[in-house]
Amino acid sequence: MTYTIKEVAAKTGLSIYTLRYYDQAGLLPFVSRNTAGYREFTDGDLQLIHTITCLKTTGMPLAKIRQYMTEVMQGPATIPQRQQLLSEHRQAVLAQQAQIQQSLQELDLKLAIYQHPAAVTFVNAELSAIQAEKVANGLPNPFKK
Amino acid sequence: MTYTIKEVAAKTGLSIYTLRYYDQAGLLPFVSRNTAGYREFTDGDLQLIHTITCLKTTGMPLAKIRQYMTEVMQGPATIPQRQQLLSEHRQAVLAQQAQIQQSLQELDLKLAIYQHPAAVTFVNAELSAIQAEKVANGLPNPFKK
DNA sequence: GCTTGCCCTTGAGTATACTCGAGGGTTTAT
DNA sequence: ATAAACCCTCGAGTATACTCAAGGGCAAGC
């Protein structure tokens, strides 16, 4: 059982264009062609594409993903490299998650202010303070009142 | 007390180029200019820039950030719009976090396999299975071994 | 008062990741 | 056997977010 590129697009959510682009970019060195030159995807290929989307979801650039897939193609000899690549990436993802978490909390705070009954008062106060700061420094007021 | 663009770059971690780019893109409508045409940043401006980086960290595109900052400039009348923009973004961030978390767990699994004493065996088995699948479908084997 | 360093704008260049149209071969269903 | 639907490559186009060089004005120290 093999799949056409259209079927793979439907299964993965990636567009046909994207799949071809990935192939051309060297992310899919495992995909075989039939005699007509058509790509034929196996279930194992889908697994590997799933790994690619995991890496992409976590923000890995295509060039790094390509490197990883190339190493996968070379068999067990590249396990140390893959291990390093993935564990470095893991650290980056953890850091990124922490940053997002922090920013999210600050946004939640802003939302809480907007939802407060006295939101208008708060917002006005904040706006006035910033404008006063400009005036105090002899600067033009960029706020249209 | 005001800051030059260079000082703001140092304080925020954004490059001078990026700050100017953001200004030109309409993300910094609050920044005043002195008589020479130089940007002069106040502490309040730094706060607003911090909000921008929070939005950016959480993946908001610059066009949306610009919209938000424009609304901020217009005072309390735009609180409902801002609320909607932020709460929609909040939902997107939560979804994104969940996706990252899921992908991260799958990557952790891969790492665990690579760290296992029998990693070579596992990797070889997986590779063989994929190659067997190709052969079973009469496809060329794209693996060099 | 002059050099050095900082600021400005404008416009072009870069990187990344797609997205699509043209032109042409293949497969499938009628 | 032929039209519709699908596949291919290649090259160009788009979107986003910077990044930088050129050319020129301003400012602070010696």
The tens digit of pLDDT for each residue in A94-136 reads 999 999 999 999 999 999 999 999 999 999 999 999 999 999 8
CB contact under 8 A, B90 and A108: yes
Please tell me the predicted confidence (pLDDT) of residue B138: 79
CA distance A73 to B117: 21
What are the domain boundaries of chain A?
1-73, 78-145
CA distance B6 to B1: 15
Query: Is the confidence at residue B144, as pLDDT, over 70?
Result: no
CA distance B54 to B56: 5
Which residue has tokens 């192939």?
A23
Please tell me the predicted confidence (pLDDT) of residue B93: 98
List beta partners, residue B32. B40
The tens digit of pLDDT for each residue in B53-107 reads 999 999 999 999 999 999 999 999 999 999 999 999 999 999 999 999 999 999 9
What would the mean pLDDT of A87-92 be, rounded to a whole number?
A: 98
Q: Which of B85, B91, B89 is nearest to B68 (CA)?
A: B85
What would the mean pLDDT of A17-26 be, rounded to a whole number?
A: 98
The tens digit of pLDDT for each residue in B29-52 reads 999 999 999 999 999 999 999 999
CA distance A103 to A101: 6
Q: Name the average pLDDT for chain A.
A: 95
Please tell me the predicted confidence (pLDDT) of residue B143: 76
Structure tokens at B51: 């909000």
List beta partners, residue B40. B32
Specify the CATH class of A1-73 in words: mainly alpha
Comparing alpha-carbon positions, the chain B residue that sits nearest to A48 is B130
Q: Is A84 part of the contact surface with chain B (CB cutoff 8 Å)? A: no
Q: Which of B48, B53, B58, B124 is the best mutation test for A, with the most CBs of A within 10 A?
A: B58
Structure tokens at A64: 């790094």
Name the nucleotide with the smallest C1'–CA separation from B21.
D18
Comparing alpha-carbon positions, the chain B residue that sits nearest to A138 is B34
Q: Which residue blocks in chain B are alpha helix, DSSP H?
A: 5-12, 16-24, 43-57, 62-73, 79-115, 119-136
Virtual torsion, Cα A52, A54, A59, A65, nearest 10 deg? -20
Rg (CA), chain B: 25
- Range A115-123, long-range pairs (CB < 8 A, 24+ positions): A115/B83, A119/B76, A119/B79, A120/B76, A120/B79, A123/B75, A123/B76, A123/B79
Query: Is the confidence at residue B145, as pLDDT, over 50?
Result: no
- Reply yes or no on domain B5-73 having CATH 1.10.1660.10: yes
Q: How far is the CA of B4 from the C1' of D26 (A)?
A: 14
Q: How far is the CA of B17 from the C1' of C14 (A)?
A: 14
Q: Name the average pLDDT for chain B.
A: 95
Please tell me the predicted confidence (pLDDT) of residue B132: 93
CB contact under 8 A, B100 and A86: no
Please tell me the predicted confidence (pLDDT) of residue A145: 47
Please tell me the predicted confidence (pLDDT) of residue A144: 57
How many other CB atoms are there within 10 angstroms of residue B132's CB atom?
13
What would the mean pLDDT of A20-40 be, rounded to a whole number?
A: 97
Q: Given pLDDT bands bounded at 50, 70 and 90, which one contains residue A28?
A: very high
The tens digit of pLDDT for each residue in A55-77 reads 999 999 999 999 999 999 999 99
CA distance A57 to B96: 9
